[in-house]
Chains A and B, each alone.
Chain A
Amino acid sequence: MIIDILTMIWKEYREVMRQSGSKRSTALRFLIVMVTMSVILPWQAGIAWVTTPVSLGFWILIPVILVTTMVADSFAGERERHTLETLLASRLSDGVILFGKIGAIVSYTWVVTQIIMHIALVPINIRFWEGRIIFYRADAMLIGLGLSLLSASLVSTVGVLISLRASSVKQAAQTLGLAVFILAWGPILALQVLPDEWKTRLGQALKVYMVPGADLTQAIFTIAAALVVVNAGFLIAAMIRFQRARLILD
């Protein structure tokens, strides 16, 4: 099964590399994303990027930003380009095709997130150089690695589920865009409607975490557990939705 999943991942990577036609334009697009996320954002955040949990938000958000274009194409694109039926007529099992698609998106976004987050240390080091290399705290980095993996897999699974149901890539991208918008802006909008007293309490609670060296264990575990549970739910939904006979007739 693992070999078959790797085969699917191999194909997905090849397609991603040729998404914009030439290798040069793919590299250019990659460079623009890199410069924005690895240079401009950390430069603006300053030393807080490594001393406070501010970067944790980016470990979670960058996979969300990266994943959207790729994931919308996963099944809807195969259907639109009439390659899905041939793939379904192959010896690959349902699970292999589904996990291969998710695996490709998760691994791609996770690796690119790590590259971005590590390159982000370059402008920080240039700006705040004190004779030794500034790096993330070991525990913060481990948390970042874990949370970005969970975040990437959550958005990938949601995206694949949307793509499975969509009749075109455009429809999948629109639905996914809406889902990401709700995910990203939902909590902020929800905050607006909270009573003032609650807002103050929440602000005080979050302030505790914004202090350099603060103990984030409980908060991190809560976020991670929530991501795992939600992720598992969407994965089960995707597995139920993935039926050869249904996909053939869609």
Chain B
Amino acid sequence: MTETAIITENLTRDFDNVRAVDNLTLEVPRGIVFGLLGPNGSGKTTIIRLLLGLLEPTGGQAEVLGFDTRAQAGAIRERAGALLEHHGLYEKLSAEENLEFYGRINRVPKVECKARIKELLMNLGLWERRRESIGTWSRGMKQKLAVARALLHRPPLIFLDEPTAGLDPIAQAALREDLAALGAREGVTVFLTTHNMSEAEKLCGLVGVIRQGKLLAVDHPDTLRAQAGGPRVEIIGRGFSENTLTILRARPEITSAERQNGHLSLHLQAGTDVAPLINLMIGAGVQVEEVRKGKASLEEVFLSLMEEEK
């Protein structure tokens, strides 16, 4: 068994004159949650379709779980679970029937299938409503059920295409928690696309940023944040005069110092010790109430990458 779940090399897909995926070269190790971040229309869904062998690439190649997407698409689909752009559930059927159908498709033995359905629906809090037609369910419940369907046959890899899209914040948080718990419990590799930064930040061990089919960056969220700039400090207090700002801006370890809503925001060089700077400010007459240290958010990383590409 290879250590890599997905490898792509110059994977390209054109639709007429539009390049949806542009020379994508990527490696996703097994057992992690990989997040593909990108705005709408950036090619995320097309990449999933290419990896599942549902679309033929125009150029380049891809291997999923050691199988070539062109020649062995059937083997990939046999071993992968998927929650695509739409949940794809049969609304007239009950939750149990929906899962049973996909259990049968994936040849899960009957007894095992029943036990697995119970396990998944219990974990997702849907067991009590298993016999209802899912047409009356909320979108959040349907998304949860679709996640259960993707995991039913214990695939080593699942694709989730914007799983929390269109859900209210509470349902998003609930599904995110379920995904994190299920991912950890099942030990599957998760390939997740999203344009929700906090989702990627909370769930993903590795993040790729994509724009107009091009992969702009790929790394651990912390590393991406570190690359986007050194640490930052937010100081809450009083007396942030122009004179103080001038003194601070003259320091080589401070890359920027800005007043924002009565707070002071400092961007620092990596490895800067904050305590001497606080002393300096106190000496200049600043009354410090609170000091918050932090890093650039993934959203800032994303926006700066988008900006660079423009």
Binding site for B on A (CB under 8 A): 3-4, 7, 10-11, 14-15, 18-19, 81-83, 85-93, 244-245, 248-249
Contacts and interface: CB of A to CB of B under 8 A. Distances in A.
B101 A11 contact: yes
Contact of B105 (A4, A81, A244): A4
Interface string B82-94: 1011111111110
B54 A88 contact: yes
B158 to A, nearest CB: 11
A142 B78 CA distance: 42
A89 B133 contact: no
Given A14-B97, A18-B93, A87 B88 contact: yes
Contact of A86 (B55, B78, B86, B92): B86
A89 to B, nearest CB: 5
Across the A-B interface, the 10 shortest Cβ-Cβ residue pairs: A86-B88, A82-B86, A18-B92, A91-B78, A7-B104, A89-B82, A11-B101, A91-B77, A83-B88, A248-B54
Nearest to B84: A85
Contact of B54 (A15, A92, A93, A244): A244
Contacts of B133: 18
Nearest to A82: B86
Contacts, number: 69
A11 B74 contact: no
Given A15-B93, A245-B56, A91 B88 contact: no
A249 to B, nearest CB: 8
A100 B17 CA distance: 37
Given A14-B93, A14-B97, A15-B92, A86 B84 contact: yes
A92 B82 CA distance: 14
Interface centre among A3, A85, A249 (most CB of B within 10 A): A85
Contacts of A88: 54
A88 B82 CA distance: 11
Contacts of A81: 90-91
B88 to A, nearest CB: 3
Given A18-B133, A248-B54, 16 more contacts: A3-B107, A7-B104, A11-B90, A11-B101, A14-B92, A15-B93, A19-B92, A81-B90, A82-B85, A85-B84, A85-B86, A86-B82, A86-B84, A86-B89, A91-B78, A245-B55
Mostly helix, strand, loop or mixed at chain A's interface?
helix
B143 to A, nearest CB: 13
Interface in B89-136: 89-93, 97, 101-102, 104-107, 133
B109 to A, nearest CB: 12
Given A11-B101, A15-B90, A89 B56 contact: no
Contacts of B105: 4, 7, 90-92
A91 B84 CA distance: 15
B224 interface: no
A89 B77 contact: yes
A14 B99 CA distance: 13
Interface in B143-159: none
B49 interface: yes
A130 to B, nearest CB: 48
Nearest to B88: A86
B90 A83 contact: yes
B209 interface: no
A85 B102 CA distance: 14
B267 to A, nearest CB: 45
18 contacts: A11-B90, A11-B101, A14-B93, A18-B93, A81-B90, A81-B91, A82-B87, A83-B86, A83-B89, A83-B90, A85-B84, A85-B85, A85-B86, A88-B54, A91-B77, A93-B74, A244-B54, A245-B56
